[in-house]
Amino acid sequence: MPREDRATWKSNYFLKIIQLLDDYPKCFIVGADNVGSKQMQQIRISLRGKAVVLMGKNTMMRKAIRGHLENNPALEKLLPHIRGNVGFVFTKEDLCEVRDMLLSNKVPAAARAGAIAPCEVTVPSQNTGLGPEKTSFFQ
């Protein structure tokens, strides 16, 4: 199956986000930092039938919402929250139920290089047993 060109893909994305905004009365804006593809797949599977997850470029999301403001002016409240690595979860179900399903898929992960800690980490000062001559590998 050949891949569609960029202009076609963008127009289909705009139609999809506008259709989802019309069809679903409720949505979440979710952060997707440090979420792997396997975890995202598990989230989509657990939400199947209850909610739709839509990820995409922030500028394209904003542009689609701005183009749809005349039909639904309440969408303007979403625009300031589209910052960073975010996506939409559209639903017709109870928000608490869908939120609990999203939080149940939250898993602890080991720290990776360049990752920002989600909580404050304090290491107390103490004797390490290493003298100054043995710490050159830290430099």
CB 54 within 8 A of CB 19: no
The pLDDT tens digits for 5-45 are 999 999 999 999 999 999 999 999 999 888 888 999 999 99
Q: Which domains does the chain have, with CATH numbers?
A: 10-106 (3.30.70.1730)
pLDDT for residue 2 is more than 80: no
Q: Is the dihedral of CA 79, 106, 54, 101 positive or negative?
A: negative
Structure tokens, 88? 């939409």
pLDDT for residue 138 is more than 70: no
User: 58: closest CA among 66, 46, 70, 69?
Assistant: 66
pLDDT at position 34? 83
The pLDDT tens digits for 75-117 are 899 999 999 999 999 999 999 999 999 999 888 878 788 877 7
CB 86 within 8 A of CB 27: no
